[in-house]
Amino acid sequence: MKKRLVLFIPLILFLVMGVFLYKGLFLNPQQLDSALEGKPIPAFQLQKLEDANEIITNESIKGQVSLLNVWATWCPSCKYEHPYLMRLARQNILPIYGINYRDERAMAIRELSREGDPYTKNIFDHDGRLGLDLGVYGAPESYLVDHNGIIRFRYAGPIDMRVWKETLYPMIQELQAQAKAEGAS
């Protein structure tokens, strides 16, 4: 009897591997976990996109739950994402900070005036240094930052209704509740 059971071991191994490999089929290898989740926004001092005299720093972003959105005029997926960001901006759920990544200032400003500007403020990251510190590997990427300036989640790819409803918005509500409990605005 014992020998009979031993004969089943290969089948069991096969089934276990099958389950793992089957699950693997639905993983998206492009969707990497950010190494910065749980860490503060990297220190930066950059010009505002529209006004070179105004300096935005990592301290400016603290205080409330916010979304950092890495975008550029050369990025087609950013154009796809743009109308949805406009919608979110109108709903006024949280400040959306733009990081204009490796872009030309004049082109970026023109694009925003033509298509609309969903951003609370736009950080001009011309040489991509902030992007590098954030671990950006392609635009668009969005970072959810809590009221203490800690990065809580990174989403690589364009935000659409599905991502927003299923992933981002529930997290934002949770973070905003936490912020409220801790007495931040």
Partner 1 sequence: MKTLVGFITAILLSFSLVGAAMATPVDTYEFKSVDNQKRALELAHSLRCPQCQNQNLIDSNSPVAQDLRLEVYQMVDAGKGDDEIIEFMTSRYGEFVLYKPRMEAKTYILWLGPIALLLVGLVIGFIFVRQQRISNAVEQEISAEEQAELDKLLKRDDK
- Using a 10 angstrom Cβ sphere, with 0-12 exposed, 13-18 middle and 19 or more buried, the burial of residue 61 is buried
Site string for partner 1, 20-49 (x = CB under 8 A): ---------xx-xxxxx-------------
Size of the site for partner 1 (CB under 8 A): 16
User: Does residue 102 bind partner 1 (CB under 8 A)?
Assistant: yes
* Whether 107 contacts 75, CB under 8 Å: no
User: Is the CB of 29 or the CB of 183 nearer to partner 1?
Assistant: 29
Q: How far is CA 38 from CA 110, 136, 143, in A?
A: 35, 16, 11
Distance between CA 81 and CA 173 in Å, rounded?
Answer: 21
User: Does residue 8 bind partner 1 (CB under 8 A)?
Assistant: no
Q: How far is the CB of 173 from partner 1 (least distance, A)?
A: 27
User: Does residue 14 bind partner 1 (CB under 8 A)?
Assistant: no
Candidates 20-28, 43-51, 116-124, 132-140: pick the segment binding partner 1 (CB under 8 A). Answer: 132-140
* Whether 115 contacts 91, CB under 8 Å: no
Within residues 41-100, the interface with partner 1 by CB under 8 A covers none
Within residues 136-165, the interface with partner 1 by CB under 8 A covers 136-138
Nearest Cα to 121, choosing from 22, 182, 74, 55?
55
* Whether 87 contacts 64, CB under 8 Å: no
| Residues near partner 1 (CB under 8 A) | 29-30, 32-36, 102, 128, 132-138
